[in-house]
Amino acid sequence: MKDLIFDHIAGFVQMDPAQTVKLCDTWFDGDYNAVARALKEQKDLSFNFLHTVLLQNEHKIIAECENSQHMQGYRPSQKYIDLLLHFVEILCNKKHRSRIVDFVQRSYFPIDESLRICEEKQALEACAVLCRRNQDYNRAIELYTQVLVDLGTTIVHTLFDVTLQDMDKSNEHIQRFDEILGHIVRICDKQSSRFAKREQEDLWKHALKHVFSIKRQVFD
């Protein structure tokens, strides 16, 4: 029976990911990684399955992190780490990349391993989030700045060369620029209450230097 289910696992996921997770719990002792490996080449099905697993097991993952905090840091068991890292790889694909930040900012996603994957896949905004979680604020600011540069010559030209009254603030790229710029400001603002005065000034200078370099980088 197990072999039969496994041979048709892609079809089960396609029909009903939630029921497939239950099948996995019943017949494979919750070995989600085996199913994820079987779906490795089918990115959409992998995303649907792993997302469903996460939705149904998030409370368990968080509980594992809380129980392990004093022994090994805030991390779930290796079973879930492997699953989360597989999910990060799927999220780095172009089709699903818009969802990645929502996940990697969650406290139970392992920072170092996720960062290595995101760097390899050039998922810059996700890298910035992970650096921020890792308290590498200078690097986070640099990465957020690069995301702004990558929005493109046309968008950045508009931002720098039209008046605020003429700017179409409903434009999704303008809104995204404003959102990411806000992340940079909040990094500096939040750390101002934690750092010594000299460190506060250095962080703000670092941020301003990179923000004001955006136009030059786009037009070079």
Q: What is the pLDDT of residues 149-190, one digit of tens each?
A: 887 655 655 555 555 445 555 567 778 888 999 999 999 988
Are residues 117 and 151 both part of a single domain? no
User: Which of 86, 121, 156 is the last residue before a domain boundary?
Assistant: 121
Question: At 69, is the pLDDT very low, low, confident or very high (cuts 50, 70, 90)?
Answer: low
Are residues 181 and 110 both part of a single domain? no
Are residues 113 and 144 both part of a single domain? no
Are residues 110 and 8 both part of a single domain? yes
* pLDDT at 2 exceeding the cut of 80: no
pLDDT at 172: 76
Q: Give this prediction's pTM.
A: 0.84
Looking at the structure of the chain, the number of domains it has is 2
In angstroms, the Cα distances linking 209 to 138, 148, 169, 175 are 11, 14, 25, 22
pLDDT at 110: 94
Are residues 13 and 97 both part of a single domain? yes
pLDDT at 198: 86
User: Which of 81, 97, 121 is the last residue before a domain boundary?
Assistant: 121
The secondary structure of the chain in percent helix, strand, coil, rounded to multiples of 5, reads 75, 0, 25
pLDDT at 161: 53
Alpha-carbon dihedral sign for residues 11, 16, 18, 19: negative
Tell me 42's DSSP state. Answer: -
Work out the mean pLDDT of the chain and round it to a whole number.
86
Are residues 1 and 108 both part of a single domain? yes
